[in-house]
Amino acid sequence: MYLRDTGGFTESGGAVALTLPRKPRLIDRATIRRGLEHAQSIDLVVDLGARIGSREWWRGLATCTALCASAIAAAPGFHPLLGPVAAPMGGTQAEEMRVSAIAPTAYGADTGKKVAPTALVERLADTPERPQISLTAALGSGDGFGRTLTRAGVGADEARQVTNLVADATRLGDIKSGTKLDITLGRRPNKDVARPLDHLAFRAKFELALEINRIDGRLQLKEIPIAVDDTPLRVTGRVGSSLLSAARAAGAPAKAIETYLRAMAQHVAIGAIKANDRFDLIIEHRRAATGETETGGLLLGGLEQGRKTLRLLKWTQDGREQWFDAAGTGELHGNMKMPVQGAHQTSSFGMRFHPILGYSRMHQGIDYGAPMGAPIVAATDGTVSFSGWHGGHGNYVQIRHAGNMGTGYAHMSRIIAHIGEHVRAGQLIGYVGSTGLSTGPHLHFEVFKDNKAINPAGVKFAQAAQLGGSELSRFKATLARLLAVHAS
Provide the binding-site residues for Zn ion, judged by CB under 5 A. Answer: 367, 444
Nearest-approach distance from CB 372 to Zn ion, in angstroms? 16
By beta-carbon proximity to Zn ion, the closer residue of 59 and 444 is: 444
Nearest-approach distance from CB 367 to Zn ion, in angstroms? 4
Contacts for 353 with CB less than 8 Å, ≥ 6 apart:
359, 360
Q: Which of 135, 193, 170 is nearest to 162 (CA)?
A: 170
By beta-carbon proximity to Zn ion, the closer residue of 382 and 436 is: 436
Tell me which DSSP letter residue 270 carries. Answer: G
By beta-carbon proximity to Zn ion, the closer residue of 222 and 452 is: 452
Query: Phi and psi of 456, rounded to 5°?
Result: -60, -25
Q: CA 239, CA 252: separation in Å to the nearest integer?
A: 13
Please provide the DSSP assignment of 360-402 as one string: EEEE-SEEEE--TT-EEE-SSSEEEEEEEE-GGG-EEEEEEET
- Identify the bridge partners of residue 360 per DSSP, sorted by sequence position: 353
Residue 300 CA: distances (Å) to CA of 282, 297, 326: 5, 9, 10
SS3 (DSSP) at 235: strand
Nearest-approach distance from CB 237 to Zn ion, in angstroms? 55
Contacts for 455 with CB less than 8 Å, ≥ 6 apart:
349, 350, 366, 447
Nearest-approach distance from CB 404 to Zn ion, in angstroms? 23
Q: CA 59, CA 48: separation in Å to the nearest integer?
A: 10
* Alpha carbon 333 to its chain's center: 38
Q: Taking CB positions, which residue lies at the least distance from Zn ion? A: 444
By beta-carbon proximity to Zn ion, the closer residue of 158 and 367 is: 367
Q: CA 107, CA 189: separation in Å to the nearest integer?
A: 50
Q: Which of 127, 179, 175, 184 is nearest to 152 (CA)?
A: 184
By beta-carbon proximity to Zn ion, the closer residue of 277 and 367 is: 367
Q: CA 218, CA 48: separation in Å to the nearest integer?
A: 117
Nearest-approach distance from CB 469 to Zn ion, in angstroms? 41
Q: Which of 425, 351, 426, 419 is nearest to 390 (CA)?
A: 419
Q: Which amino acid is at 263?
A: A
Task: Note whether 169 and 223 are within 8 A (CB).
Answer: yes
By beta-carbon proximity to Zn ion, the closer residue of 206 and 445 is: 445
Task: Note whether 154 and 194 are within 8 A (CB).
Answer: yes
By beta-carbon proximity to Zn ion, the closer residue of 367 and 381 is: 367
By beta-carbon proximity to Zn ion, the closer residue of 145 and 445 is: 445
Nearest-approach distance from CB 365 to Zn ion, in angstroms? 5
- Per residue, what are the HEC states of 87-122? CCCCCHHHHHHHHHCCCCHHHCCCCCCCCCCCCCCC
Nearest-approach distance from CB 437 to Zn ion, in angstroms? 9
By beta-carbon proximity to Zn ion, the closer residue of 60 and 365 is: 365
Nearest-approach distance from CB 206 to Zn ion, in angstroms? 58
Task: Note whether 277 and 241 are within 8 A (CB).
Answer: no
* Alpha carbon 212 to its chain's center: 33
Nearest-approach distance from CB 346 to Zn ion, in angstroms? 9
By beta-carbon proximity to Zn ion, the closer residue of 314 and 444 is: 444
Q: Which amino acid is at 215?
A: I
By beta-carbon proximity to Zn ion, the closer residue of 266 and 347 is: 347
Nearest-approach distance from CB 380 to Zn ion, in angstroms? 20
SS3 (DSSP) at 189: coil
* Alpha carbon 37 to its chain's center: 108
SS3 (DSSP) at 451: coil
Q: Which amino acid is at 467?
A: L
By beta-carbon proximity to Zn ion, the closer residue of 423 and 443 is: 443
